[in-house]
């Protein structure tokens, strides 16, 4: 009970700090953050939609693979710049729009971290595609669509007793156990190393140091779970109110997460200084 009380106090502290930031930095600064956030999201959505409508980007060919990698790098580079602007906001620095394209040099390290996270998911993906063969002619490289169709198939067969019986006989208890074990690896990685990318963006650390420090910062997983649950609930509520409210809620969520990251970093530094 004491731990949950401490987490509650921590969440209250983070929301209070977020409120004070908005008050002290001025509403115009916060509106700029919201507007920039909205522009990035809309640009990515519109560009992706146009490409999907006009180019077979999921075709299994080298040019399409290179195009997807280039687009992913472009969008990720913009997010790096935006996250740097948010961190500067927390540090009470001035708003500089040029920062949105200023930190592309951090892209290779962030891409490598993304690759490591994808590797943790790879055994699970291989197991699922082994149980449910992947049709390369139908999906090309669109793995996301494959999993969406697979999920829809499960939902549809769940309401059909005969079809569900066939699936149940095909998937044994051993498969469920293997699935849970393989799923545990990417979940564990996400909880223990989510700070690594922020450490590279914030401190420009190398990959090794960012992973080591992230692991040392994130021993209290329950804090992140409860904070994340609260922010998800808030964002669901804002989504119901419309797009503008959704962007406001998402921007606030990023600020709260970054404040929590700074809290973790300050805590570990204080602990080290007391040893």
Q: Which of 121, 118, 149, 155 is nearest to 133 (CA)?
A: 149
Local confidence pLDDT in tens for the 275 residues of the chain: 555 568 889 999 999 999 999 999 989 999 999 999 999 999 999 998 898 888 888 887 888 888 889 999 999 999 999 999 999 999 989 888 889 999 999 999 999 999 999 999 999 998 888 888 888 887 777 888 888 887 777 666 655 555 555 555 567 778 788 889 999 999 999 999 999 999 999 999 999 999 999 999 998 899 999 999 999 999 999 999 888 999 999 999 999 999 999 999 887 654 433 43
* C-alpha gyration radius of the chain: 21
Note whether 122 and 61 are within 8 A (CB).
Answer: no
Distance, in Å, from the CA atom of 13 to the CA atom of 225, rounded to the nearest integer, reads 16
Q: Name the nearest CA neighbour of 214 among 196, 201, 190.
A: 196
What pLDDT score was predicted for residue 175? 77
> Which long-range contacts (C-beta less than 8 Å, at least 24 apart) are formed by 207-211?
207/109, 207/112, 207/113, 210/109, 210/113, 211/113
HEC sequence for 163-197: HHHHHHHHCCHHHHHHHHHHHHHHHHHHHHHCHHH
Q: Taking the model in full, what pTM does it have?
A: 0.87
């Amino acid at each position: 009970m004491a731990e949950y009380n401490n987490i509650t106090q921590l969440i209250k502290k983070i929301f209070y700090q977020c409120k004070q930031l908005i008050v002290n930095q001025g509403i115009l600064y916060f509106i700029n953050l919201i507007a920039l956030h909205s522009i990035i999201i809309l640009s990515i959505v519109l560009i992706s939609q146009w490409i999907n409508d006009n180019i077979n980007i999921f075709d299994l060919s080298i040019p399409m693979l290179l195009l997807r990698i280039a687009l992913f790098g472009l969008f990720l580079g913009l997010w790096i710049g935006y996250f740097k602007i948010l961190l500067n906001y927390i540090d009470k620095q001035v708003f500089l729009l040029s920062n949105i394209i200023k930190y592309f040099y951090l892209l290779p390290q962030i891409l490598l971290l993304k690759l490591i996270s994808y590797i943790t998911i790879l055994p699970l993906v291989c197991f699922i595609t082994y149980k449910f063969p992947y049709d390369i002619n139908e999906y090309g490289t669109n793995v996301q669509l494959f999993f969406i169709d697979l999920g829809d198939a499960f939902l549809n067969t769940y309401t059909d007793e005969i079809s569900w019986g066939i699936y149940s006989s095909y998937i044994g208890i051993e498969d469920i156990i293997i699935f849970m074990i393989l799923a545990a690896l990417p979940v564990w990685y996400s909880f223990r190393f989510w700070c690594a990318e922020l450490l590279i963006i914030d401190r420009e650390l190398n990959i090794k140091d960012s992973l080591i420090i992230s692991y040392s910062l994130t021993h209290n997983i329950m804090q992140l779970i409860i904070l994340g649950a609260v922010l998800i609930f808030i964002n669901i509520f804002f989504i119901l109110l419309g797009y503008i409210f959704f962007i406001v809620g998402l921007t606030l969520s990023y600020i709260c997460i970054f404040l929590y990251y700074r809290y973790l970093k300050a805590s570990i530094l204080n602990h080290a200084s007391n040893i």
